[in-house]
């Protein structure tokens, strides 16, 4: 199957799982679930759940037992977007082609919708089948996601990203921000399936893939913030420059940033088993070429 078809099928499956989960919440007007639904159904690419399913295939797990993990990573991601867009952070008005959550529901509800999504992610992890997976393995995967989302991962990256606004920082410091803010969640996405089946060697190789995938992805996102089409991206461009954000295009220029994307993409594949990497490589190539 070609990678475009695979990604489309995976995206549809994830959308269906999200719809089913929202249906079970019996969303009422004015409720926090309504704000959760608004952001969850705004048409994200579902790249993180796709990576969960692709890593699952790499270690021999079918899609269905990974449903809670696929939902959990999309919920953590969506929470981070809602909070990142708040006036106290990046103060963005558009996301996924729609007004941001706080623009629609007010700041208090946007904060609560983010909190609820983050919490719900761990409800999902606790619902992982202990028939399909050993309880200890479920605990290790849950720990992996919690560390990635928390003070040593996304939160640390966000704190450093905010502190770096309007500052001159080194390429190394920028890499560190991106490793935490962006790559930590991608790393967890691809490691968790391997942890669930106790494949520690694969977990290391997949974690290496996730880190370099995340760095390449963030570089591409930075490039798109300069050269992308807002109509295609569903969010404004030029915002990084407006906020004085440290980015690769600002630090090294657009051409060199593209060279670095290719370098990170090569590194991402270095530890993977050649015979099993097809889908992961396809997703990487898609992410790598988004801004070319």
Question: What is the closest distance, in whole angstroms, from the C-beta atom of residue 75 to ligand GRG in the complex?
Answer: 12
| 102 is a contact residue toward ligand GRG (CB under 6 A) | no
Question: What is the closest distance, in whole angstroms, from the C-beta atom of residue 278 to ligand GRG in the complex?
Answer: 21
Nearest residue to ligand GRG, scored by beta-carbon proximity? 44
Assign 95 to helix, strand or coil. Answer: strand
Q: Find the binding residues for ligand GRG in span 227-286 (CB under 6 A).
A: none
Buried b (16+ CB within 10 A) or exposed e, 113-130: bbebbbebbbebbeebee
Assign 147 to helix, strand or coil. Answer: helix
Question: What is the closest distance, in whole angstroms, from the C-beta atom of residue 46 to ligand GRG in the complex?
Answer: 7
> Which residues 6+ apart lie within 8 Å of 30 measured at CB?
none
Q: Find the binding residues for ligand GRG in span 25-44 (CB under 6 A).
A: 44
Any alpha helices (H) in the chain, and if so which ranges?
3-24, 32-40, 47-58, 67-84, 101-105, 107-126, 135-149, 154-163, 171-178, 184-196, 200-227, 230-233, 239-243, 248-252, 254-269, 278-289
Q: Find the binding residues for ligand GRG in span 147-166 (CB under 6 A).
A: 154-155, 157-158
Closer CB to ligand GRG, residue 100 or residue 138?
Answer: 100
Closer CB to ligand GRG, residue 77 or residue 199?
Answer: 77
Closer CB to ligand GRG, residue 182 or residue 279?
Answer: 182
Q: Which residue has the tokens 């809670």?
A: 68
Q: What string marks each residue from 43 to 62 as x (binds ligand GRG by CB under 6 A) or -?
A: -xx-x---------------
Assign 129 to helix, strand or coil. Answer: coil
The only residue of 57, 120, 221, 240 in contact with ligand GRG, by rule CB under 6 A: 221
Q: How far is CA 38 from the centre of its chain?
A: 18
In angstroms, rounded to a whole number, what is the distance separating the alpha carbons of residues 215 and 287?
Answer: 11
In angstroms, rounded to a whole number, what is the distance separating the alpha carbons of residues 265 and 155?
Answer: 25
Closer CB to ligand GRG, residue 81 or residue 223?
Answer: 81
Question: What is the closest distance, in whole angstroms, from the C-beta atom of residue 40 to ligand GRG in the complex?
Answer: 10
The only residue of 181, 208, 212, 250 in contact with ligand GRG, by rule CB under 6 A: 181
Instruction: Supply φ then ψ for residue 154, to 5 degrees.
Output: -50, -45
Closer CB to ligand GRG, residue 202 or residue 221?
Answer: 221
Assign 94 to helix, strand or coil. Answer: strand
Question: What is the closest distance, in whole angstroms, from the C-beta atom of residue 96 to ligand GRG in the complex?
Answer: 5
Neighbours of 91 (CB within 10 A): 14
Question: What is the closest distance, in whole angstroms, from the C-beta atom of residue 196 to ligand GRG in the complex?
Answer: 23
By the criterion CB under 6 A, which residues form the site for ligand GRG? Answer: 44-45, 47, 77, 80-81, 83-84, 96, 154-155, 157-158, 181-182, 218, 221
């Amino acid at each position: 199957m070609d990678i475009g078809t695979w990604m489309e099928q995976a995206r549809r499956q994830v959308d269906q799982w999200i719809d089913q989960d929202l249906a079970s919440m019996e969303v009422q007007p004015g409720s926090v679930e309504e704000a959760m639904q608004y952001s969850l159904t705004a048409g994200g690419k579902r790249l993180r759940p796709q990576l969960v399913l692709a890593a699952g295939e790499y270690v021999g797990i079918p899609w269905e037992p990974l449903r809670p993990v696929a939902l959990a990573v999309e919920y953590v991601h969506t929470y981070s977007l809602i909070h990142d867009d708040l006036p106290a952070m990046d103060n963005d008005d558009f996301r996924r082609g729609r007004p941001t959550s706080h623009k629609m529901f007010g700041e208090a509800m946007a904060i609560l919708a983010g909190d609820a999504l983050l919490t719900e992610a761990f409800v999902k992890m606790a619902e992982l089948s202990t028939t399909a997976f050993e309880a200890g393995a479920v605990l290790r995967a849950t720990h992996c996601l919690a560390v990635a989302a928390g003070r040593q991962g996304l939160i640390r990256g966000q704190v450093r990203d905010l502190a770096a606004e309007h500052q001159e920082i080194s390429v190394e410091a920028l890499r560190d921000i991106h490793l935490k803010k962006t790559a930590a969640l991608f790393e967890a996405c691809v490691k968790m399936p391997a942890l669930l089946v106790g494949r520690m060697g694969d977990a290391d190789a997949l974690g290496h893939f996730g880190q370099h995938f995340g760095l390449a992805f963030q570089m591409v996102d930075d490039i798109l913030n300069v050269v992308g089409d807002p109509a295609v991206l569903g969010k404004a461009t030029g915002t990084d420059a407006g906020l004085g954000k440290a980015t690769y295009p600002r630090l090294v220029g657009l051409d060199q940033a593209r060279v670095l994307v290719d370098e990170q993409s090569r590194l991402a594949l270095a530890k993977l088993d050649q015979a099993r990497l097809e889908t992961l490589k396809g997703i990487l190539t898609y992410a790598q070429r988004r801004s070319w």
